[in-house]
Structure formats: C-alpha cells, structure tokens
Chain A
Amino acid sequence: MSYEAHFRVWRGDAVGGDLQDFSVEVNEGEVVLDIIHRLQATQAGDLAVRWNCKAGKCGSCSAEINGRPRLLCMTRMSTFAEADMITVTPLRAFPVIRDLVTDVSFNYAKAREIPAFAPPKGVAAGDYRMEQIDVERSQEFRKCIECFLCQNVCHVVRDHEDNKDAFAGPRFLMRIAELDMHPLDEMDRKKQAQDEHGLGYCNITKCCTEVCPEHIKITDNALIPMKERVVDRKFDPLVWLGSKIRRRENV
C-alpha cells in the first residue's frame, strides 16, 4: 500500500533558492499536502507552506505541481505513477517569501480597488427581495475561495510584471461582474471595469477557468458577458441615448 515517492521541493527565499530532493513515504488516499506535512514532521521541520482547511474550501495551499497551478490539498497522489518525480514549486506570478509561501498582497491591494457593493437606497434590511434565478449568476462567482490560482496563471501578469498596475486579474474582474449582476447593486460598473481595472487586457484564453478548483466558468460566465456589456455601452447608439436621457432625469 505505501511506497517511497520522489519529491523535488523548491526551498529558498527572496534572495534565491533551489530544488531539493526528498524520498518520502506515501500511503493510500493521500494528497500532496499530506506528503509536504510528512516532510515537515520528519525531514524538514521548517519547510514553509500555507494551508488551513485541507478540504479545498479556504484556498490557502496554492502552489505549482509539476508546473501546474494546483491546490496541494486537492491533488491526490494516486494521480501520479509511483515512479514519477513530483516537483512542487511556489506560485510563479507572486514574489517568494520562503519555500512554498509567496507574497500574495497584490491580490488584497486589487480587492480594495474594486468599489464595494452599493446597496439599494430606501430598502431596509429584511426587505431585500430577489429571485433565485437572479442571484444564481452572482452566486457562481461567490463560490470563489480566493486561492489566486487564476491570478497566478493569467498570462497578462504571469509573464508581464509591468501589467500588474493596470490589470486587476481574473479574480477581481469576476468580482466586478458579480457586483454588476447582483440584482440590487446600484452602481454602473462597466466603465470602471474597462478603464480602471483592465478588462480589455483579457483576451479570453481561458487559462483562469482551467485552473479554477471550484470549476467556476470565469471566462464564459463572468469576463465575456462583462466585455459584451462594455461593448454595448460603448457602441450601441440606443444605449448611449438612453444613458443621456437617464442622466438628465437624475439631475
């Protein structure tokens, strides 16, 4: 049942580091995070790794396994052959702090830049009424566990550090879409999505959707519909006229 696996784990810090080889016991049903924990307990007590729930619900243990962005707790050892070399490295798009732990503060900074939910004026708490079918669209995006694998894999920033300023990344463009589709949100978010958060950088290669451990259809259900609305707003003369009239009413 159990066997010795070959692991290669990146160890180091912001200054530098390298891959270190380990031979480590694997038992039936285990996931990669179990093996990392075994390394900590038996061979490398100070091996740094983030984790919390170990059930794919908190999104803490993001790393790259054989070059693919994954959750360590949801990657089963049975998906590898016993002879495979398993290489575990930190997320590539974020600065390394130590070993498998990276500085993900980029994401928290972006989160702050997205204007919060704008509650409907004059509707008291307890009086919110929404249809299930209308909340479901945004609920899909609220399944996000903020593992930031999509932020890590998106080529707009993965290989272009200089794009980070102008681009919120799939997770936070999806957040804008979520608020835009919220049945009671009162803010128009189309212009800011395009002008301030870099929706236009996304060229729908769907890498984000592929790595999403929650299987959220980020590109198809959030980003593409958001792009369509932005385009409608920009070029549709009727929408343009409507927006002018509405604005006058509000004066």
Chain B
Amino acid sequence: MDDRELQRHRYDVVVIGAGGAGLRAAIEARELGMRTAIISKSLFGKAHTVMAEGGIAASMGNVNARDNWQVHFRDTMRGGKFLNNPRMAELHAKEAPDRVWELETYGALFDRTKEGKISQRNFGGHEYPRLAHVGDRTGLELIRTLQQKIVSIQQEDMRDHGDYDAMIRVFAECAITDLLLDGQRVAGAFGYFREAGDMVLFEAPAVVLATGGIGKSFKVTSNSWEYTGDGHALAMRAGASLLNMEFVQFHPTGMVWPPSVKGILVTESVRGDGGVLRNSEGKRFMFDYIPDVFKKQYAESEDEGDRWYTDPDNNKRPPELLPRDEVARAINSEVKAERGSPHGGVFLDVSTRLPAEEIKRRLPSMWHQFKELADVDITKEPMEVGPTCHYVMGGVEVDPDTAAASVPGLFAAGEVAGGMHGSNRLGGNSLSDLLVFGRRAGMGAAQYVDSLGGMRPAVRDSDLDDVMGFALQPFETDVGENPYEIHQELQQAMQDLVGIIRRPDEIEDALARLEKFRERAARVKVEGHRQFNPGWHLALDLRNMIIVSECVAKSALVRQESRGGHTRDDFPAMDAEWRKVNLVCSHPTGSVDVAVVQQPVLTIRADLIALFDKAELAKYLTEAEMNALPEGDLTS
C-alpha cells in the first residue's frame, strides 16, 4: 500500500455522523476538553436530521401545564409497547426540556406561545401538546443551530489558539468503513474522503457512533442515501451487539405519487394540526382500528375527536393520532381491502379542516412539497399517502447513562442506538433522543478517555492493511457485479419479504437471497477511479446494508408475535411472554452469519411502574408479573 495516500489524524474522540446526535455529542466532548473530530458522510449541515419536520418532544408544559416528565415517560413506554429500556425512557423524558431550552442559547428560534414561550404542538401518542417546533421544518432548525454552535466554538478556538480547527474539526464527505481495535478496545477508525478518494486513519481511543438508520435497505423509504446502517454494521464488526433489529418503523404517511417521490415523508403534524385520514368511500376509517390497549385514550366518534382540538381536557383525541405502527397497519389494511386511493394509498385531508392561510402558515414545507413535486394544492384537495420505511428502533445495545456499547471505547447515540423506543418510536421523540443521548455519549466518551490516562490503544499496521485492501477491492476486479443492481434487488427483497406484514416463509426467502447478495457484493466491480465515485461508495455501503438486513430478517423470524414495528401474519397478537425478551444480534468472530440470542428485558423500576394503573399494565405484563406487583393501587 502506498503510504502517501493515507492521511493520519489523532483525536481524543471521533464522532462518526454529523446529524443531531453526532453534533450534540461533539459539542459535549469538546466542552469537556476533548480534541474532537466530526466525520460527516455528506457536507456539514446536510445530515438526515434536516428531514425531521414535526418537532422535538419535551414536557416543558408551555401549552398544557399538566405535562411533566412522568407523563412523557408513560407515553413513550406505551408507544414502544413496554419494550423500551425504561432507564433510557426515563432519562429522555427528564432531560429533554433542558436540551430544548439549551438550543435557544445557541440561537434557535422556535415558534412561540402568546406568552412568548416555546410553542408546543400535538402529535401521535403524546397526551399533551409537547412538540417544540418551527413550522414543519424543525429538523432543519435543529441541525442549523447545532452547526452554528460548533462554528461559534471554532470561533472561540480561533481566538484562543489561532486555529478554527484546533479543538473540534469537521471532516466533511468522509465515510468510515471499519473500526480498528487494540485487543478488545477501540483504537481508531478507517475510511476515505469522497472528494479525492484518499484513505484516512483516525487514531482515537473513543468513537461515538451517530450514523442514523438503515432505511436504504428498503425500496420505499423516507431516508436518504446515507442511511445504509453504517454504524450498526461497524459496531457489529467491532464485536458489539445490536438490540431488537426486527422493529422497523413504517411511517404511515409517505407520498405515493408520482413514483419518483414515493416514500418522501408527509409530516405527522398534518394530523396533529387537524388533518384526517379517509378511504375511497370517504370514511374516517381510523375509528375502526383502535386497539384494546388504547381504547381508553382515543375518541369513539368523529364529533368527540373534533372537539378535542379545542377542548382537550374534556374530550379524547382522534384515532388519527394513534402511534405510527397502528396507523401504518390500518392504512395497509384499507389498501388491501381495495378501499385505497387511485395510486395505492389513502387520503389525508387537511383542506376541509383548516383555512388555506392557516395551512400555509403551519405546514409550509408540505404545501411546497406537494405543489412542486405532485401538482397537488393541499389547501384545496387531499393528499394521497401510504406507509414508508422511516426509522429503525433496533440498534447498538448501550448503557443508558453513558451511551457506552459493550466494546470499550465505543459509544452510540441517536437512531443507531437501540432500546430507547422499544418496539415503536413516537413522533417527536427522535429529535429529543438525539439531544439527550448525544450529550450523554459525548460525556461518556470524555469520561472514558480521561480514565485511560496516557495509556492509549494503538492501531496495528496489519489491521490497517486489511481494511485498506477491502476498501480498494472493487477496483481490483476485471469482471464483476454492478453495485446498483445488487442494491435495487436488495431493496425489493426487503420491501416485499420483510416489510410491514411478515410471514415466516417469506423471511426465509429473504435470508436465502441475502446470502446470495452477500456473495455477489464480494465480487462487486466499479468503473472509473477513486475521485468522487458514487459507484464505489455504494459498493462499500452494500456490505453494511446486507449485514443489517440479515439482522432485521433473522430477528423477525425469531419473534413470534406482533408488536410495534414488527407484525407477523401468523402471530397477529401481542404476547406478554415476548415482552420479556430482547433479541440480540452479534457477529461472532470468524463467522459470516449473524447470531441472534434471546435476553431478558430489564425490569421496570418500582417507582416507574407505579406511574401506570394496574388495568393498563395487565394489557402488557404476564400474569406472573402482575402477581408480583405490590397489592392495591400502584398510582396512589
């Protein structure tokens, strides 16, 4: 290998990913004195976080003073069907308000209440208006605010050290292909710069994974090209484990027409602000799909649901605002029963619910998106929408307080981390997750680096040769597979066979195909040279998408129940016994296959379980678990 091609950098903390979680982690690590590198697969400020529309969930109680962290915790556990890591859900609910307020000190400008406080909007699964927002472009505000905060830190470093990049540096358009270990511990990260194709080694004792999700393994997705499961795969190959990968969220409302925009997100705020779902018969079908566990919290009639928008204390919320898994399944059923819209979705209508000017004010991006991409004026006519792969609840198994993975020196935050959202994430809980656990990962990494003293792990040259050899392999072949073709076939297979509704024979079929994709991906060939070559980048990403897809499929085959983002055709009901089980994927050394094992779910602490009444708990817990609860009313 020609050494001149390899750049070497040394940092205390390397953050892989420049979305909300990565930037927040980097800010924290830097403020704790760490020399920090941020690795961004795209340009700085383009991360997938910009796509988040609705808002950041935090129980500030600005709109309804009854809100508090306990209510938020309860909603999060309900949304995740009690499979959430309760400590993560607790930390998240407790710390989210501080993380939002902190953004204002960085310069964020949220929409306001009449009292001049941060406004909060309604969203699916949240009992009170809870989402801090900026119209329907909250993710953009979040990413820009954090980006500008980093610039402001760099300006301080310029004053103090004469160099903007002295303490925190962004490496844009850089992708990491492998982590390097010293024994069991993290020693560095290896990758390439997209622009010139140069190889780069970051030597660092601590790596924070903040790489986001896996949506690009599915055909219809709201995710961008970056979402190839890199962090999930990096963690596994480094020896860490992934939790509950079967839980994939299909957002109920993606665009369905025209074909080229299929999957692009239509924010839940449309429903939060009054939009309703109708089938081809004009019926608000969601009233037929309220599951037993949610019967007490949702309106039984259209009148009551409509009254809730103005009088939420005396009415129940409309079922359009059920958690996303419920709404996605309902839409799927309506379409299958041939009550769908002309292009295979259902109708989402806000035009008959709000005045045109109000729609444009509250949902400007949606108005713009439909006008420009579909020739639909949402102030005059309904949208056509259908489910789109949006989010993976599964991810790296981490310690809730420090975001540490099982591999020393490895941390994970945001979508790449597992546990927080259980089997289904509530809208709005993602942006708050990024901030709460991004910060904690930055702290965890800094504490870990401090604990090492001067004893830093070292990268071995032989390991470096191996990972470089792998990265350049696609140029070495004369004849080989086209990476774009393998990718398209992979997306089709995952969409058709491990999608919203899953059957065991189809999952088996998917696993057989994945094995073939893996063989073919090893023989992939790319045209041209290393400078900004998207074919090469895809060839390297394929390995990650395939291993992550295998985790999803294998776990989906094992879990014989339906819960949140995992629906089994042959086991349509939720099963309390399965609530006690986490499925953990790992990649044993020397094996090509992923291994899945069952692990017990963490017990919910007594003071947290006391936030629920027994009647509700009985819907989720086993009889034995119920019998083990203290006598009498828990909540008193």
Contacts and interface: CB of A to CB of B under 8 A. Distances in A.
Interface of A: 13, 27-31, 34, 40-42, 44-60, 74, 76, 97-99, 101, 103-104, 108, 111-112, 115-117, 119, 125-126, 128-132, 135, 138-139, 142-146, 179, 182, 185, 215
Contact of A45 (B110, B528, B531): B528
B487 to A, nearest CB: 9
Given A56-B372, A76-B372, A112 B104 contact: no
B303 interface: no
Nearest to B137: A143
B165 to A, nearest CB: 10
Nearest to A125: B101
A45 B484 CA distance: 8
A135 B109 contact: yes
Given A29-B259, A52-B226, A53-B48, A104 B534 contact: no
Among A52, A97, A139: residue with most chain B CB under 10 A: A52
Give the residue among A46, A119, A144 with the most B Cβ atoms within 10 A.
A46
A210 to B, nearest CB: 16
Contact of B107 (A47, A60, A117): A117
B155 interface: yes
B115 interface: yes
From B50, B101, B109, name the one whose CB has the most chain A CB atoms within 10 angstroms: B109
Contact of B50 (A40, A41, A58, A99): A58
Interface string B532-566: 11111000000000000000000000000000000
Contact of B117 (A52, A60, A112, A129): A129
Contacts of B529: 46
B69 to A, nearest CB: 14
Contact of B116 (A46, A117, A130): A130
Interface residues of B, number: 72
B174 interface: no
Nearest to A101: B532
Given A40-B484, A104-B43, A112-B155, 17 more contacts: A13-B531, A40-B534, A44-B527, A48-B534, A50-B43, A53-B224, A55-B261, A55-B369, A57-B51, A76-B373, A112-B164, A116-B148, A126-B97, A143-B140, A144-B144, A145-B140, A185-B107
B94 interface: no
B365 interface: yes
Interface in B95-127: 97-98, 101-102, 104-107, 109-112, 115-117, 119
Given A45-B528, A125-B98, A116 B258 contact: no
Most buried by A among B158, B260, B265, B482: B260
B244 interface: no
Given A55-B51, A129-B115, A142-B144, A112 B154 contact: yes
Nearest to A60: B46
A149 to B, nearest CB: 14
Nearest to B165: A112
Nearest to A104: B43
A88 B349 CA distance: 37
A28 B373 contact: no
A29 B258 CA distance: 5
A54 B224 contact: yes
Given A28-B259, A30-B258, A46-B535, A126 B101 contact: yes
B42 A60 contact: yes
Question: Which 8 pairs of residues, A with B, have the shortest CB-CB distance?
Answer: A29-B258, A46-B528, A116-B152, A117-B107, A129-B116, A45-B535, A41-B484, A48-B532
B45 interface: yes
Contacts of B381: none
Contacts of A50: 42-43
A53 B111 contact: no
Contacts of A99: 532
B11 interface: no
Given A55-B264, A112-B151, A116-B151, A97 B109 contact: no
B264 to A, nearest CB: 5
B259 A135 contact: no
A51 B115 contact: no
Contacts of B257: 29
Nearest to B52: A57
Interface in B28-55: 42-46, 48, 50-51
Contacts of A31: 260-261, 373
B259 A45 contact: no
Contact of A131 (B46, B104, B116, B485): B116
Given A116-B152, A125-B98, A139 B115 contact: no
B368 interface: yes
Output the residue of A116, A179, A185 with the most chain B CB within 10 A. Answer: A116
Nearest to B117: A129
Contact of A52 (B42, B119, B195, B368): B42
Given A60-B43, A117-B107, A53 B50 contact: yes
Contacts of B164: 112
17 contacts: A27-B259, A29-B259, A45-B484, A46-B527, A46-B533, A46-B534, A46-B535, A48-B533, A53-B48, A55-B51, A56-B373, A112-B151, A117-B148, A129-B116, A135-B109, A142-B144, A146-B45
Among A28, A45, A135, chain B packs the most CB atoms within 10 A around the CB of A45
B55 to A, nearest CB: 14
A30 B260 contact: yes
Contact of A135 (B44, B111, B528, B533): B111
Contacts of B264: 54-55
B369 A56 contact: yes
Nearest to B265: A55
A241 to B, nearest CB: 31
B111 A116 contact: no
Contacts of B101: 125-126, 128
B571 interface: no
Contacts of A126: 97-98, 101
A44 B528 CA distance: 9
Interface centre among B106, B107, B529 (most CB of A within 10 A): B107
B389 to A, nearest CB: 14
A185 B43 CA distance: 28
Contacts of A132: 111-112, 119
Contacts of B533: 46, 48
B373 A45 contact: no
A52 B173 CA distance: 12
Contacts of B149: 116
B346 to A, nearest CB: 19
A57 B534 contact: no
Contacts of A185: 107
Contacts of B141: 142
B535 A29 contact: no
A136 to B, nearest CB: 9
Contact of A142 (B134, B224, B265, B528): B134
Contacts of A182: 107, 109
A54 to B, nearest CB: 7
Identify the interface centre among A48, A97, A103: most chain B CB within 10 Å of its CB: A48
A96 to B, nearest CB: 10
Contacts of A47: 534
B333 to A, nearest CB: 26
Contacts of B117: 129
A116 B259 contact: no
B116 A57 contact: no
A219 B416 CA distance: 41
A86 B257 CA distance: 24
B225 interface: yes
B220 to A, nearest CB: 13
B526 interface: yes
A168 to B, nearest CB: 14
Contacts of A45: 482-484, 526-528, 534-535
A34 B51 CA distance: 19
